[in-house]
Amino acid sequence: MNREQKRHQPTRCAASPSLALVKYWGKQAGGVNLPATTSIAVTLSHLETITEVRLVDSRDKQCIRVAGCLQDSERYSPFFDNLRATLDHDNWFEVDSINSFPTGAGLASSSSAFAALAFGCTRALGKPVSSGELSRIARVGSGSAARAVYGGFTRLSAGAQQAEQIAPQQHWSDLRVVIAVVDSGPKPISSRSAMSRSAETSIYYRNWIDSSEDLAQLAERAILRRDIEALGSAMRQSYLRMFCTMFTAEPPIVYWLPESVAVIRACERLRHSGIPAWETMDAGPQVKVVTTARWSGRVAEALSRETGNGEILVVGAGAEPRLIGTGAVT
């Protein structure tokens, strides 16, 4: 293969989304996507963004497509500008990406999208970097993507430039996340705008920030001990406090649907009958329920009763981004 052919050879890779168990919601000043709260997360198995990156020779050829749809290049410029400065290169990229799960619907697709993009670009440039460096690069695209460059369990500390792994994928192999997709359409408002509106207008935002570190520590210790009850109770406080800042924003932000509430109630009934089923939600109506392998079938059954025809996915802790060779993704 000559140099020119090699240059146009696509790099194909996959990354999985990072589900926050304790949430990142709000940014600190003084950097791009510097989190105001410490988040604790698990990278999910089975769900993937698959991204193909090609080097192109000029800025006007640079483009990003998701499922064949051309994306607004402005959204990606901080990412590419930072990549250029960090890796000291002057290349441009043609990117095609698809998700194996609903996009922009509160299933953390921006975390896997920017983790895959960061991974793909560094590989396409022939400049592989450490996981920490990859995490910093991905964070500039999306805060939650800083976590998705690792497999297993992660922490992104308040004010940190990069996330870190707190336990590998195998650490808690019987942990399961049952996802009730109650509505797979795109969300009415992006998490980025919702986050900034909450910060600017909710009277509870300060309390949210001040109380988040304790929850992160509780959750991290619970993960290390594989204590699902302690993890579940920290998770529950985290998502409900986060939503308090949204419900009290001006104008209020309400991602929840009646089915979301029905699933939350079903989880409460499951717990009363002795089944671990601890829910969390993000910027969308889907409900993600943490349980164990033993109970995941029962939990999935209970959730599907509440969601009508909604899709139910059962996943576990997943792996870090991977290279999957070459080929077209669309």
CB of 40 to ligand DP6, least distance (A): 9
Q: Which helix (H) or strand (E) holds 74?
A: helix 73-87
Tell me if 192 contacts ligand DP6 by CB under 6 A: yes
Considering beta carbons, is residue 102 or 143 the nearer one to ligand DP6?
143
Q: Is residue 285 exposed (0-12), middle (13-18) or buried (19+ Cβ within 10 Å)? A: buried
Single out the segment in contact with ligand DP6 by CB under 6 A; choices: 49-57, 188-196, 218-226, 320-328.
188-196
Provide CB contacts within 8 A for 95, sequence distance 6+. Answer: 51, 52, 53, 54, 63, 64, 65, 117, 120
Phi-psi region of 238 (alpha: psi -120 to 50; beta: other; left: phi over 0): alpha
CB of 23 to ligand DP6, least distance (A): 4
Q: Is residue 30 exposed (0-12), middle (13-18) or buried (19+ Cβ within 10 Å)? A: exposed
268 vs 52: CA distance, rounded Å:
42
CB of 61 to ligand DP6, least distance (A): 26
Provide CB contacts within 8 A for 170, sequence distance 6+. Answer: 152, 317
Among residues 191, 238, 260, 296, the one that binds ligand DP6 under rule CB under 6 A: 191
Grouping H, G, I as helix, E, B as strand and the rest as coil, residue 24 is coil
Single out the segment in contact with ligand DP6 by CB under 6 A; choices: 52-60, 62-70, 136-144, 209-217.
136-144
Tell me if 66 contacts ligand DP6 by CB under 6 A: no
Tell me if 282 contacts ligand DP6 by CB under 6 A: yes
Considering beta carbons, is residue 12 or 23 the nearer one to ligand DP6?
23
Binding residues for ligand DP6, total number by CB under 6 A: 16
Among residues 11, 13, 14, 23, the one that binds ligand DP6 under rule CB under 6 A: 23
Tell me if 110 contacts ligand DP6 by CB under 6 A: yes
49 vs 67: CA distance, rounded Å:
10
At residue 284, φ and ψ (nearest 5 deg) are: 170, 175
Among residues 11, 33, 280, 307, the one that binds ligand DP6 under rule CB under 6 A: 33
CB of 316 to ligand DP6, least distance (A): 18
Considering beta carbons, is residue 93 or 114 the nearer one to ligand DP6?
114
CB of 114 to ligand DP6, least distance (A): 8
Provide CB contacts within 8 A for 29, sequence distance 6+. Answer: none
Tell me if 20 contacts ligand DP6 by CB under 6 A: yes
244 vs 281: CA distance, rounded Å:
12
Grouping H, G, I as helix, E, B as strand and the rest as coil, residue 23 is coil
Among residues 38, 39, 49, 291, the one that binds ligand DP6 under rule CB under 6 A: 39
Among residues 16, 135, 144, 280, the one that binds ligand DP6 under rule CB under 6 A: 144
CB of 32 to ligand DP6, least distance (A): 9
Considering beta carbons, is residue 28 or 304 the nearer one to ligand DP6?
28
293 vs 174: CA distance, rounded Å:
5
Burial 200-229 (b: 16+ CB within 10 A, else e): eebebbeebbeebeebbebbbebbeeeebe
CB of 33 to ligand DP6, least distance (A): 4
Residues that bind ligand DP6 (CB under 6 A): 20, 23-25, 33, 39, 108, 110, 142-144, 191-192, 195, 282-283
